[in-house]
Structure 1
Amino acid sequence: MTTRKREADNQSYHEEIVHIGQVMTRMRLLVGRRLIGRLAVQNVAPGLELSHLDVLDAVRRAETAGEVTVGAIAEILRIDPSRASRIVAEMVTRGVLRRKASQADARRIVVVITALGRKLVAEIKAQKLAIVQKVVKDWPPADVEAFATLFDRFISGYEQTFLPRKD
């Protein structure tokens, strides 16, 4: 490879990295508006706040590892335990979450998702799928497959770079 070719390749690579950064900013602005969550709340549980969806998602993700406590929710969301407790209490009042005694230690209280909460999770998933399908509806299947693979690889790398490791 000639020096000129290498320099041209480096310039092109740099321009693509800059472009990715610009696209990330556009996506952050779209995601920041929480369109999917707003639609789901409107359709299933009017009156819930978007912070409730964050807690619901934290419970959904954490329950795969076992029982979920308010402390675990606070840790996942990186919020004060007292704030997590208040949000959970609101969600219990609204019927999205339920508190119950731990099966492992009856002195400990755990948080579980109710049927209404599961319905809300399903609605969020349906809204997300509908939006993605609408965006890629005119893409060739090979492009959708390539994008899915590359986007997953990018997000996985992002998570590995910026999320703390659990040892």
Structure 2
Amino acid sequence: MPLSTKTEINALLQRAGVTAETTAAVMDIDGMLQHWRRRAMKRELGNRALIDLKIDIDLAQLDVLSAIAGPAPEFGDSQGETMVGTVADRLAIDPSRASRLVSEMVDRGFARRAVSQADARRTIIELTAQGEAVVDAVRAYKYLILGDFLGTWSPEDIAAFVPLLKRFSRWTDGIDAVTDRHGPEIDQLVEAIAMAGKVPEEV
């Protein structure tokens, strides 16, 4: 039977061992995440930062500068030298696109190529003073906006929120184990889609 109502979805989750309270939270969080995703895709804050700071580059170029800088909170372990392949990995883009964007930043004076200290045959990418200034300014701009917002929160709320957000950010880790555990429920969803396709449309 197609899961055509919220009640049927609730029943499916209940059979999977998810409590009603958790189900309500899941639905609220999913709605907020979808809204957040749509806003994030527009890159509102990044666009505003480039405009307000009068930086004549686009967001893709800014991403490359950030990837060259490799700040740990954004890219995790960012130790070691940065190469074009490193930029491609950090941004999850094709190496040829990363190479083109890096070349644009080098040509415009935001980055430079240098010789690796570990292997003279290897070319690495570094930010110039101008590139570092751009990355630092955009980061500071974002911190100002977020800091102003969080400044209205109590210290207790912030102390509770940050570790919980870090914990929540890993919610898709181990997804294979979760899907294995809920194989019957996923099979039911597959069946619901198949059955819906057999229902004739009303004219």
Other-structure match for 1:25: 34
Which residue of the partner structure matches residue 57 of structure 1? 66
Distance 1:46 1:128, change over 3 A: closer
Return 5+ residue gaps in structure 1 as ranges.
1-6, 163-167
> How far off its partner does 1:64 sit?
3.2
Of 37, 60, 63, the residue aligned with 2:46 is 37
Higher helix share: 1
Q: Which of 92, 111, 115 is 2:106 aligned to?
A: 92
Aligned-pair identity (%): 36
Equivalences for residues 1-167 of structure 1 within 5 A: 10-44=19-53, 46-61=55-70, 64-155=78-169, 157-158=170-171, 160-161=173-174
1:66 alignment partner, SS class? coil
TM-score (norm 2): 0.67
Q: Does the residue aligned with 2:113 lie in a helix, a strand or coil?
A: strand
Alpha-carbon deviation of 1:45? Answer: 5.7
Counterpart secondary structure, 2:117 = coil
Q: Secondary structure at the match of 1:64?
A: coil
Tell which structure's C-alpha radius of gyration is larger: 2
Range that drifts further, 87-96 or 24-33: 24-33
Provide the TM-score with structure 1 as the length reference. Answer: 0.80
Q: How many residues align?
A: 154
> For the Cα contact (< 8 Å) 2:49–2:142, is it kept in 1?
no
CA RMSD after TM alignment: 2.3
Give, in whole Å, the separation in 2 of the partners of 1:37 and 1:161: 31
